[in-house]
A and B are shown apart, each in its own frame.
Chain A
Amino acid sequence: MGPVPTDIKKSAPPAPRSTGPTAGALLLESARRNMRQYGMLIALGLIVVLFQIWTDGVLLKPNNVTNLVLQNSYILVLAIGMMIVIIAGHIDLSVGSLAAFVSAACAVMMVEHKVPWVLALVIGLVIGAVAGAWQGFWIAYVGIPSFIVTLAGMLIFRGATQIMLGSRSLGPFPEGFQKISTGYLPSVGPNTNYHNLTVLMGLVLIAVVVVQELRSRRREQEYELDVLPKGIFITKLVAMIAAVLAFTMTLASYRGVPVVLLILAALLIGLGFVMRNAIVGRHVYALGGNQAAAKLSGVKDKRVTFLVFVNMGVLAALAGIVFAARLNAGTPNAGVNFELEAIAASFIGGASMSGGVGTVFGAIIGGLVLGVLNNGMSLVGIGTDYQQVIKGLVLLAAVGFDVYNKRKVGS
């Protein structure tokens, strides 16, 4: 155990004490608490800068940024669900196979049975929920380790996909379905060289962010909590606005906001909120952090675990649908190794093998680190063989750095 900071008072200078800790202390404190996340955010920034230079500016060209979002969307969807599973102290190896199974089922429905695409989409998501419930049942209520249950699921869903499709690729899909992955928000209004709706959304987003931050700051002051000093707060706000603005203008100067980005944003905000501010989210953290203590505190451990896997099932189905829409076909080998990418993204983004730690936002960061690496390395012509080696090393380094850091803090 580190030096327990109980003797702070003793070492404080006799000078008139301010009402709260200093700004520097506050910043350090919040940095220490969010080490992994800030670390990864900085790492992501460095990787972006590196490839931006290496590719002579191609990386951040509007069409490539859009492409990056589209390429990684399904992994990001999976990573969000996987992060929650890992926070709960479990793992899910079946998501790649399940995604393939759902995409195949949608393909069969739409191509062979002419089911309307909206209906196929809904049925696809329901299949995902049922598959998640199936696995959640064995894990939560029967008590089989998730590694085993989902390893079985990986084989079962892959096999079922191949039984359904044989060696065929089924396509093409109705245009509406394709739009899930390849569509953009419609162009409206006068020609401004930018995508108007996107700019508008960006401005709304900025307004929401500013209002939220201000409200939260005011409430913290009402509750007499320590807040960041005004200067630093404004700097933080400006940085956030700049980031949002840069991103929206980049998208707006190409074809606007892709539909799939809206889906991702909804998941990030929705599930991020649930994990942070809903009771069930808190219970997930408590279960992963100390299952015995959570149970003795009245957390319905089985139900929460079950729900986590149902959620993962739905997200895996969604990832499968997005992937199929992008490919415009259902194929028997869709989604191979997706589970590994999603797990890697979660760990790079701050999850811990023993559970209880991590955020949905972290999963996105982790997914983007991998995505930018993929994209950047492809742009500069590094082969997929070397890409895998490098991604492996990045995963090892990210978690290694975290383990080292924790040991230093905790010793």
Chain B
Amino acid sequence: MTGAPVLEMRSIVKTFPGVKALSDVTLTVAAGEVHAICGENGAGKSTLMKVLSGVHPHGSYDGEIRFQGEGCSFKDIRASEARGIVIIHQELALVPYLSIAENIFLGNEHAARGIISWNETLKHASRLLKRVGLKEHPQTRVADIGVGKQQLVEIAKALSKKVKLLILDEPTAALNDEDSAQLLRLILELKEQGITSIIISHKLNEISAVADSVTVLRDGRTIETLDVRSEETTEDRIISSMVGRDLDHRFPDRTPYDGTADTHPALEVRDWTVHHPIDQQRKVVDNVSVHVRRGEIVGIAGLMGAGRTELAMSVFGRSYGRNISGTVFKDGKQIRTKTVPEAVGHGIAYVTEDRKQYGLNLIDTISRNITLSALPKVTKRGVVDEHEETRVAESFRKTMNIKTPTVFEQVGRLSGGNQQKVVLSKWIFAGPDVLILDEPTRGIDVGAKYEIYTVIDQLAAEGKAVVFISSELPELLGMCDRIYTMAAGRLTGEISRAEATQEVLMRHMTMDKR
């Protein structure tokens, strides 16, 4: 099984401003195998593949790449594709309003002197579609076929480039069972035809189904490479390799929540189901029931695509999804949260995971961002009192330790950690009873993280109910009284502070209940 290595990546180091994404990664892939890469969110999987495919050009990283025995120094994707390395990203790179055939040969058209030969194009497209087992006419618009079939079109496109090494970044994350199975079968068929594949996945059952070996990354390092076919490589073995890190973050001391005497949870969501906004057959949140009490910090753990953000956003004013069903209770009474103002009116706040896209008006000042969701509080007789507003912003600048010369600074000029503090300030100023924090420490440095943990602690101590969504398990373990786990839209576990370890959480997070 283990042929000669077709790909060797040695001591790869890649730094972004302020972050070391890859600190020492070594990857060896044998010819003709299916090689899985797994690791937590942020472990460096996607970055590594971007280095390999030339998205991060040669020179922007350190280390050596050898493909088919020759050194590689790709300056862009075209250079890597010329050598037969093709990457298929999680977000598909297809033009929706062009046909399948046009997409397959985009940038690589069958043409003579700039004039496309449609007969050639269609002939070749049909042949490629047959190879990937797609029974659509090549002139069908890509927008008219499902995500699963689009994935196959991507693979056909890769085949048209004479692919030797196919990289798939979480290929089944957006697919239903049937489409996933078909895709995995195709990967095995391609293997028979001599095409080597690298597949990034955190679905352990998938890995054991198709992969020959698996490399585990953690915190930008290679931990180990395991032979999947060997007896010793169990799912537990992979899990412990994925999470086996010391708790290197520090957390403020907090007295765990004990008030089980409360009669009603501050917020309770029952039988919540949400469908994907475009692919309406797919349930992104499937019959989930969760609750949080005053003074309690409840974590929600899950890997990419588990449906955590979708759950939070759909509860918060139906800001995500279609065909939402289920009920929401606040202090025991059923409430309507169909619009954001309704949700805010019931004392619910949602701090988004993507602060730049959904959290802040980057071109406006700190003070105006902080007051936006609760302007009536600084308004007298219909007039926004700018002095009062400034005073409020100043007080948050001090208590939250927002590092800025003045509160009139544009939010877009602050660092990530300080931006996050502005978003938090905004929602604390709104005075909610329930705070849903979605990845509140993503992309910020350790010092700022500690400050944010302290704030969260204080909020809980003041009797607010906190829902803490995070991909960092140590953070959840350090902060939460109780942790829900989600996988593929379903609730897979509810784990108390006492029982929770990284291994337990990861086992529930990779559980596929389907």
Chain A residues lying within 8 Å of B406, measured Cβ to Cβ, are 21, 29, 226
Residues in B with CB closer than 8 Å to A241 are none
For the complex, count residues of A whose C-beta is within 8 A of B.
39
CB atoms of A356 and B387 under 8 A apart: no
A282 near B387 with CB under 8 A, answer no
* Other A-B pairs beyond A1-B412, A290-B358, 6, CB < 8 Å: A4-B415, A5-B405, A279-B384, A285-B364, A357-B363, A410-B413
Residues in A with CB closer than 8 Å to B376 are 279
CB neighbours (8 Å) of B413 from chain A are 1-2, 4, 410
Whether A356 lies near B386 (C-beta < 8 A) is no
Measured CA separation A286–B374 after assembly (Å): 13
Residues from chain B with a CB closer than 8 A to the CB of A222 are 387
The complex places the Cα of A310 from the Cα of B387 at a distance, in Å, of: 30
Q: Are A285 and B387 in contact (CB under 8 A)?
A: no
Summed over the interface, the residue pairs from A and B with CB atoms below 8 Å come to a total of 108
B41 at interface, CB cutoff 8 A: no
Q: A293–B384 contact, CB under 8 A?
A: no
Contact pattern, A 268-289, Cβ under 8 Å of B = 1, otherwise 0: 0000000011110111011001
Whether B363 and A277, one on each chain, are in contact in the complex, defined by CB atoms closer than 8 angstroms, is: no
Distance to closest chain B CB from A270 (angstroms)? 13
When chains A and B are docked, how far (Å) is the Cα of A226 from the Cα of B359? 28
In chain A, positions 1-29 with a C-beta closer than 8 Å to chain B are 1-2, 4-6, 8, 21, 29
Q: Is the CB of A220 within 8 A of B361?
A: no
Within 8 A of A (CB), among B331-378: 340-341, 344, 350, 352, 357-364, 368, 371-373, 375-376
Interface pair B364/A225, CB less than 8 Å apart: no
Instruction: List, in ascending order, chain A residues with CB within 8 A of B245's CB.
Output: none
Given contacts A4-B414, A226-B406, A298-B341, contact A289 B364 (CB under 8 A): yes
- CB-CB under 8 A from B404, the residues of chain A are 5-6
CB-CB nearest in chain A for B388: A223
Which residues on the B side are within 8 Å of A293 (C-beta)? 352, 357-361
11 contacts between A and B (CB under 8 A): A5-B405, A219-B387, A222-B387, A286-B361, A290-B357, A293-B360, A297-B426, A299-B372, A352-B363, A356-B363, A410-B412
Across the interface, which residues of B come within 8 angstroms of A281, CB to CB?
A: 384
Nearest-neighbour CB distance to chain A for B497, whole angstroms, equals: 30
Complex: how many Å from CA A153 to CA B112?
46
Contact indicator A296/B340 (Cβ below 8 Å) = yes
Measured CB to CB, the closest approach of chain A to B181, in angstroms, equals 35
A299's closest neighbor in chain B, by CB? B372
Among A150-204, those with CB < 8 Å from B are none
A114 in contact (CB, < 8 A): no
Q: Which residue of A lies closest to B408 (CB)?
A: A33
B362 cross-chain contacts in A, Cβ below 8 A = 289-290
Interface residue? A292 (CB, 8 A): yes
Interface presence of A61 (CB below 8 A): no
In the complex, what residue of chain B is closest to A289 when comparing beta carbons?
B361
Q: Which residue of B lies closest to A216 (CB)?
A: B387
The smallest C-beta distance from A333 to any residue of chain B, in angstroms, reads 39
Residues of A within 8 A of B364 (CB): 285-286, 289, 356
**B470 lies within 8 A of chain A by Cβ:** no
- Known contacts: A286-B361, A295-B319. The answer to whether A220 contacts B387 by CB under 8 A is yes
B241 interfacial by beta-carbon distance below 8 Å: no
Cβ contacts under 8 Å, B418 to chain A: 4, 6
Question: Which chain B residues border A300 with CB–CB below 8 Å?
Answer: 341
The distance in angstroms between the C-alpha atoms of A33 and B409, with both chains bound, is: 8
A296 touches B358 (CB 8 A): yes
Task: Name the residue on B nearest A29 (C-beta).
Answer: B406
- Interface presence of B390 (CB below 8 A): yes
**Interface residue from B319, B344, B390, B403 paired with A6 (Cβ < 8 Å):** B403
5 closest residue pairs by CB, A with B: A289-B361, A297-B373, A6-B403, A298-B344, A290-B361
Contact A279 B373, beta carbon cutoff 8 Å: no
Residue among A285, A290, A292, A299 with the most chain B CB within 10 A?
A: A290
Across the interface, name the chain A residue whose C-beta is closest to B350. Answer: A296
> CB < 8 Å: which of A226, A286, A297 contacts B340?
A297
- Pick the most buried of B341, B358, B360, B412: most chain A CB atoms within 10 A of its CB: B358
Cα separation A282 to B383 with both chains bound (whole Å): 11
Bound Cα distance from A293 to B386, whole angstroms: 21
Residue A43 lies at the interface, judged by CB distance under 8 Å to chain B: no
A398 interfacial contact with B, CB 8 Å: no
The answer to whether B403 and A290 touch across the interface, beta carbons within 8 angstroms, is no
Task: Decide if A21 touches B361 in the complex (CB within 8 Å).
Answer: no
> In chain A, residues 219-246, which have Cβ atoms closer than 8 Å to a Cβ of chain B?
219-220, 222-223, 225-226
Asked whether B59 is an interface residue with its Cβ less than 8 Å from the other chain, the reply is no
| A298 neighbours in B (Cβ, 8 Å) | 317, 340-341, 344, 373
Decide yes or no whether B176 CB sits under 8 A from chain A: no
Contact between B361 and A285, CB atoms less than 8 A apart:
yes
**Considering the complex, which residues of chain A in the window 364-411 have a beta carbon less than 8 Å from any beta carbon of chain B?**
410
Q: How far is the CA of A3 from the CA of B182 in the complex (A)?
A: 50
Question: In the complex, which residues of chain B have a beta carbon less than 8 angstroms from the beta carbon of A283?
Answer: 375
Contact residue among B344, B382, B387 (Cβ-Cβ distance under 8 Å from A225): B387
Q: Output the least CB separation between A2 and chain B (Å).
A: 6
Chain B CB within 8 A of A294 CB: yes
In the bound complex, CA of A281 to CA of B358 (Å): 20
Contact at B391–A223, with CB atoms within 8 Å? yes
Question: Which residue from A226, A278, A295, A410 sits with its C-beta under 8 Å from B383?
Answer: A278
Whether the pair B387, A286 counts as a contact (CB closer than 8 A) is no
